[in-house]
């Protein structure tokens, strides 16, 4: 297949690009590099041995997007591009709505015009808000608590409306749980700018001595050790989920929604211990107040993806930490 990736130099985009190339697909990517670097493309070529076309383009720039669709023919588009920092979205809601929503509308208008039949969208478990029970299935009530999450929910609705008017297309909405880890080569991984917001990159920087101590946000949650529980999923497993979604799209039409998680939740302290085992030394931490907007626990029922896509996460927490640590060590100067 010929596949376009928006946000292709980003964390999940670059891992998916790698898996697509390894599987023999032809890939074109674009990114405005607002949260990634062009050298990621060289790393993907080093892993796969396969070149691919990259466009430096902003999805808010229709002319730049049109060039990509004029110069190539696509069987499918996987849409990763977007801003994703929850806290920043509260401070800068208009920036998030404009970038994520307008950017998606631009992309969809070209998909319609150039008759691309298959679309995969990066949604998030954040659309479930604070779930009433666990594990979370795809039919749980939806609701969000921040503008970032609202952009995901709004785009899901836009995609349903888009399908209603374009009944020949097939759309997969993938609700990711907590992607972590890195490619086992250590060539690509998560490279957040500034101080990380998310747990795994923060712990990795503490482990490397670049940050003083992990702040554990709350130890009084109603969980087994009082710290927050999440469904961490290895980014390579997540990437492979996109290949499965493309196969599903090729066989059908409609809007298909899947949780991509492992189905197992780990607490903050369990992740910390697993990272200590991976790096071979203790990692300092202190208990801090709960972070505003956080929920106690969240993990997926991934049964629908297993049944309909034939996909299940295979990499465990140990491998997530070992791969994150290998990436961190290789990139101490990032």
β-partners of residue 286 are 215
Among ligand NAD, ligand WQD, none, the one that 1 touches (CB under a kind-dependent 5 to 8 A) is none
Phi then psi for residue 11, to 5 deg, are -60, -60
Please give the residues from 226 up to 255 whose contact with ligand WQD meets the rule CB under 6 A: 228, 230
Q: Which of ligand WQD, ligand NAD, none lies near 86, with the C-beta cut-off 5 to 8 A by kind? A: ligand WQD
Q: Which of 11, 96, 128, 148 is catalytic?
A: 148
Structure tokens at 238: 């997540």
d(CA 35, CA 37): 7
Q: Is 148 a known active-site residue? A: yes
Q: Residue 184: what are its φ and ψ, rounded to 5°?
A: -65, -20
Lookup result for tokens 């554990």: 216
Question: Bridge partners of 260?
Answer: 176
Give the nearer residue to ligand WQD in terms of CB position, either 26 or 198: 198
Distance, in Å, from the CA atom of 160 to the CA atom of 52, rounded to the nearest integer, reads 31
Cβ-based nearer residue to ligand WQD, 91 or 252 = 91
Q: Does 10 bind ligand WQD (CB under 6 A)?
A: no
Of the candidates 325, 312, 87, 281, the one whose C-alpha atom is nearest the C-alpha of residue 184 is: 325
What count of residues does the chain have? 334
Residues from 157 through 186 that contact ligand WQD (CB under 6 A): 178
Q: Which range in 29-37, 93-101, 153-161, 192-200 contacts ligand WQD by CB under 6 A?
A: 192-200
For residue 299, state whether it binds ligand NAD (rule: CB under 6 A): no
Residue 179: Cβ-neighbour burial (10 angstroms; 0-12, 13-18, 19+): buried
Q: Which of residues 117-156 bind ligand NAD (CB under 6 A)?
A: 122, 124
Question: CA angle, corner 250, sides to 100 and 72, nearest 5?
Answer: 60
The residue within the footprint of ligand NAD, chosen from 18, 27, 103, 311 (CB under 6 A), is 103
- Distance in angstroms (rounded) separating the CA atoms of residues 115 and 130: 38
User: Which of 52, 176, 311, 327 touches ligand NAD (CB under 6 A)?
Assistant: 176
Single out the segment in contact with ligand WQD by CB under 6 A; choices: 205-213, 215-223, 276-284, 318-326: 215-223
Total site size for ligand NAD, rule CB under 6 A: 26
Instruction: State the Cα angle at 144 between 140 and 150, rounded to 5°.
Output: 115
Q: Rule CB under 6 A: which residues touch ligand WQD?
A: 84, 86, 124, 126, 178, 197-199, 202, 214-217, 228, 230, 268, 291, 294
Which residues are marked as active site?
148
Q: Rule CB under 6 A: which residues touch ligand NAD?
A: 7, 9-13, 31-36, 58-60, 80-84, 99, 103, 122, 124, 176, 179
């Amino acid at each position: 297949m010929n596949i376009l990736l928006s946000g292709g130099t980003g964390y999940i985009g670059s891992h998916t690009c790698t898996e697509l190339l390894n599987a023999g697909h032809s890939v074109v990517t674009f990114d405005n590099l607002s949260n990634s670097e062009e050298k990621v493309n060289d790393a993907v070529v080093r892993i796969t041995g396969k070149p691919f076309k990259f466009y430096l383009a902003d999805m808010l720039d229709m002319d730049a997007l049109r060039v990509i669709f004029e110069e190539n023919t696509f069987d499918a588009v996987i849409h990763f591009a977007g801003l994703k920092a929850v806290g920043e979205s509260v401070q800068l809601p208009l920036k998030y709505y404009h970038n994520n929503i307008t950017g998606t509308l631009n992309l969809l208008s070209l998909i319609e015009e150039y008759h691309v039949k298959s679309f995969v969208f990066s949604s998030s478990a954040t659309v479930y808000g604070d779930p009433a029970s666990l594990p979370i299935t795809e039919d749980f009530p939806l609701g969000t608590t921040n503008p970032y999450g609202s952009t995901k929910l709004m785009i899901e609705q836009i995609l349903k409306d888009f399908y209603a008017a374009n009944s020949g297309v097939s759309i997969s909405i993938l609700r990711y749980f907590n992607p972590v880890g890195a490619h086992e080569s250590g060539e690509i991984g998560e490279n957040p700018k500034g101080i990380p917001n998310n747990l795994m990159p923060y712990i990795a920087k503490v482990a490397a001595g670049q940050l003083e101590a992990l702040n554990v946000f709350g130890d009084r949650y109603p969980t087994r050790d009082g710290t927050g529980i999440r469904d961490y999923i290895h980014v390579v497993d997540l990437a492979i989920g996109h290949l499965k979604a493309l196969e599903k799209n090729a066989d059908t039409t409609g809007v298909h929604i899947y949780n991509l998680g492992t189905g197992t939740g780990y607490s903050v302290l369990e992740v910390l211990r697993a990272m200590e085992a991976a790096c071979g030394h203790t990692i300092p931490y202190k208990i801090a107040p709960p972070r505003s907007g956080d929920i106690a626990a969240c993990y997926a029922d991934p049964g629908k993806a297993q049944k309909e896509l034939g996909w299940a996460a295979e990499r465990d927490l140990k491998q997530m930490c070992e791969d994150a640590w290998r990436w961190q060590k290789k990139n101490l100067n990032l």
